[in-house]
Structure formats: structure tokens, C-alpha cells
């Protein structure tokens, strides 16, 4: 059994740990404000990429936030 198949069930946990470590290093090196800017711009880029792929439905988001 190789390492790839052994770690496959834990791939999202490992990804979460790596992202957490990167964000922690950014907090410690460049500060809170700049890290928050980087994370928010990365999230906007992710949403734009998802929208360009046709997976993100903007009309569903608008109807979710405007419902009463």
C-alpha cells in the first residue's frame, strides 16, 4: 500500500491543515489586515472562477439573500 492511497481518505483534513498553517504564517509575518485582504481577494477569485466554470448560480444567491 503506497502513501497516496493511505492518505486519500484524509485529503480534505490535510488540505485544511495546510491552509491553516499558511494563514497562520501570513498572520505572523505580514499582519492581520494584509492577511485578511489576501484571503478575501482569494475568495473573490475563487467565486469568479466558479462562476466562469458555470458552477456558481448567481441568481440562486440573489434569491437566497432577498427572500423574506
Q: Which three cell numbers stand for residue 66?
A: 432577498
**pLDDT above 90 covers what percent of the chain?**
49
Phi and psi angles of residue 54, each rounded to the nearest 5 degrees, phi first: 90, 15
Sign of CA dihedral 57, 58, 63, 64: positive
Tens of pLDDT, residue by residue over 15-48, are 999 999 999 999 999 999 999 999 999 999 998 8
Would you place residue 1 in the very low, low, confident or very high pLDDT band (cuts 50, 70, 90)?
A: confident
Name every residue whose Cβ is closer than 8 Å to that of residue 34 and which is 6 or more positions away in sequence.
Answer: 26
Sign of CA dihedral 24, 30, 32, 34: negative
Would you place residue 63 in the very low, low, confident or very high pLDDT band (cuts 50, 70, 90)?
A: confident
Amino acid at each position: 500500500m503506497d502513501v497516496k492511497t493511505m492518505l486519500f481518505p484524509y485529503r480534505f483534513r490535510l488540505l485544511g491543515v495546510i491552509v491553516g498553517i499558511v494563514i497562520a504564517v501570513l498572520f505572523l509575518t505580514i499582519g492581520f489586515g494584509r492577511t485578511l485582504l489576501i484571503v478575501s481577494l482569494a475568495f473573490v477569485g475563487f467565486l469568479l472562477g466558479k462562476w466562469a466554470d458555470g458552477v456558481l448560480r448567481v441568481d440562486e444567491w440573489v434569491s437566497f439573500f432577498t427572500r423574506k
